Amino acid sequence: MPLAPGKLARCRLARPTSARGCIGRHAGRVLNFPSQGAYAGVQHVSADSNDARLNERAQFLFKALVERYIRDGQPVGSRTLSRDSALNLSPATVRNVMADLEEFGLLRSPHTSAGRVPTDQGYRFFVDTLLRIEPLEGAQVAMLKEQLDPAQNRGALMESASSLLSDITHLAGVIMLPRQEQVTLRQVEFLSLSEDQVLVILVVNEREVQNRVIRTGRLYGPSELQQAANYLNSLCAGKDLKTVRDEILAELRDARESMNAMMLAAVEMAEKALVTEPDADEVMVAGQTNLMDAGELGDMDKLRRLFEAFNEKRDLLHLLDQSLHATGMQIFIGEESGYNALDECSVITAPYGSDEEVLGVLGVIGPTRMAYERVIPMVDITARLLSAAVNKQH
């Protein structure tokens, strides 16, 4: 009888600069991922009837099998597991336990091998019940902190976080950028580049600068651009971009007939500069090619679907948006994501933000056969360090 699918391990995000363990919730029980000490024996879980049927020996063998498979990538047979487990069990006894684990839906037998590999439900049980997390060492945290320099502008900082996650996990790093609705416009300036191009300089939040090039229907002189900027600043400075787009520009569009040339020019340029960016631009992905080395994703059709999802990004955005509105860390294993392209993948995410609010989500995407005990704390601490850097920018 298989375990109930689709359960997520959630970890509470503590203070951004802390690297403590996290608390997960699964089916109404609290699971502690301790911050100190190595794994010291198998937990016997009795909250679910299915879990209760797995005695300590079965859980120990299952944990040993999953760890061996994650490490080597080869299906694990009873003889290998008997030797690795150090429980002095015969291969026949181990084979019977493996058959029970397969019946419970935790293991499956690939067609090409007599060994067993974990199912998605098996990975879920492993992560929620048997996994123990250790924090990163101080030297590792210091190295990561150096890569997330708060002196960078916001966009560069987000890109650094995505690339950093990819580099340290050897998976694909993803980050959902702060939504434009959460950005406050401080000042706008226009600078002519050519006969039909204008550089728009947006100062948002406290000191972040965004540059955009827009095309105009004609050449604008410096005085025209200055007047247009002054007009927009008088109306929009100090307001969030959503209000500017949805209310102020909408009102200005309705009043076009009564506007003079300067006001019309200002509205035209503002519409192009402040228009909502496509959703895909809210997600950065780094290190996609790392996944080409994953044996589970070696099938070209699987890789094609996955890279199409990376390129199109909308499915990723929807998944990250779920994490944004959830509590703490999220772990989607296999089909739990709800997107076919990610059926062979696990997605681990954590929120980041300022002291006042959650701004976005970052994480990694990789094969379900990943080193969860190593990747989870890396995602967690990167989110904390990014949050600390964002706070220093305010």
Whole-prediction pTM: 0.66
Instruction: Report the C-alpha dihedral over residues 68, 74, 76, 80, rounded to 10 degrees.
Output: -80
Q: All domains of the chain, ordered by start, with CATH?
A: 41-130 (1.10.10.10), 138-180+279-393 (3.30.450.40), 181-274 (3.30.390.60)
What is the spatial distance between Cα 312 and Cα 306, in angstroms, rounded to a whole number?
A: 10
Instruction: List the structure tokens of 236.
Output: 């929009």
Quickly list DSSP for 61-84.
Answer: HHHHHHHHHHHH-SPBPHHHHHHH
The yes-or-no verdict on residue 268 having pLDDT over 90 is no
Task: Give the contacts of 149 (CB within 8 A, at least 6 positions apart).
Answer: 157, 160, 389
CB 9 within 8 A of CB 329: yes
Q: How far is CA 152 from the centre of its chain?
A: 21
Mean pLDDT across the chain, nearest whole number? 79
**Nearest alpha carbon to residue 351 among 318, 387, 375, 315:** 387
CB 45 within 8 A of CB 51: yes
pLDDT value at residue 33: 37
| Percent of the chain residues past pLDDT 90, beyond the cut | 34
Q: How confident is the model at residue 75 (pLDDT cuts 50, 70, 90)?
A: very high
Looking only at the bridges linking them, the beta strands covering 330-333 and 283-286 are: unpaired
Give the best-scoring range by mean pLDDT among 44-48, 292-296, 306-310.
Answer: 306-310
The yes-or-no verdict on residue 27 having pLDDT over 60 is no
Residue 172 has, within 13 A of its CA and on its CB side, a CA count of 26
| Percent of the chain residues past pLDDT 70, beyond the cut | 82
Over range 153-171, report the average pLDDT. 92
